[in-house]
Amino acid sequence: MKINKEQVFRKNIRTVAIYNALFYENRNRQKALITITLGDERLTSLSKFRRDFMAEIRKILKRVAFKGQKVAYFSNIELGASNGKLNKQFNPHIHFQFFYDSIEPIELALKEIEKKYTFSNKDIQTANNEKAYMGYIIKDYLADNYNESFEVRKKQLAMKMPLYTSSRKSISNYAIRYIYNYYKKYGHYQ
């Protein structure tokens, strides 16, 4: 299987641009990075978990106690690697970058979803500084981390599966991609 390096870079940089748009729109909110590894370590299970977890958060935010609170997110299914190479035990896991007014709805949703799924790992990190840039979630999309054999295996294992998702922003993903392409075309953005 061949990988078009330029196409991978273009797609990855657009993903970084989408994350950055979400970050700057929510930079004054509190932030948390949650990492979950499911017991069965299957990509399809992680994708289903992500849908169920976000549905649970939306359900909790409808409660009277959380009226008016907002939660924005960026999620990424990461394919764990050993020395940059994927193998049969590649330890897939999911990262959620949350931007929130109160962490309580997220914690309640996590507690509720733990009744349905078996976690082999769960880690929650919060930012002490509201303006802190937490870009760990997009590290696989940065040009410095490009590894062709990793990209080939990623394409084989996650064919047609969206690895990242994000909440809506005031500026659409289409507009972000258009702006990025404009700046890239005229040499203003690298």
Cα–Cα distance, 122 to 39 (Å, whole number): 11
Asked if residue 21 belongs to a domain, the reply is: yes
Asked if residue 183 belongs to a domain, the reply is: no
pLDDT in tens, 124-166: 998 867 677 888 898 888 877 777 877 877 777 777 788 899 9
Asked if residue 184 belongs to a domain, the reply is: no
**How much is the pLDDT for 81?**
61
Cα–Cα distance, 98 to 113 (Å, whole number): 17
With beta carbons less than 8 A apart as the criterion, state whether 113 and 56 touch: yes
**Is the confidence at residue 35, as pLDDT, over 60?**
yes
Asked if residue 190 belongs to a domain, the reply is: no
18: left (phi over 0), alpha (psi -120 to 50) or beta: alpha
Number of domains in the chain: 1
What number of other Cβ atoms are within 10 A of residue 38's Cβ? 20
Cα–Cα distance, 149 to 8 (Å, whole number): 13
**How much is the pLDDT for 189?**
42
- pLDDT > 90 fraction of the chain, expressed in percent and rounded: 41
Q: Of the spans 20-29, 61-70, 142-151, which averages the highest pLDDT?
A: 61-70
Cα–Cα distance, 50 to 165 (Å, whole number): 9
pLDDT in tens, 76-130: 998 876 555 555 556 889 999 999 999 999 999 999 999 999 999 999 998 867 6
Range of the domain at 128: 5-177
**Residue 156 is part of a domain; what is its CATH number?**
3.30.70.260
What's the whole-model pTM score? 0.84
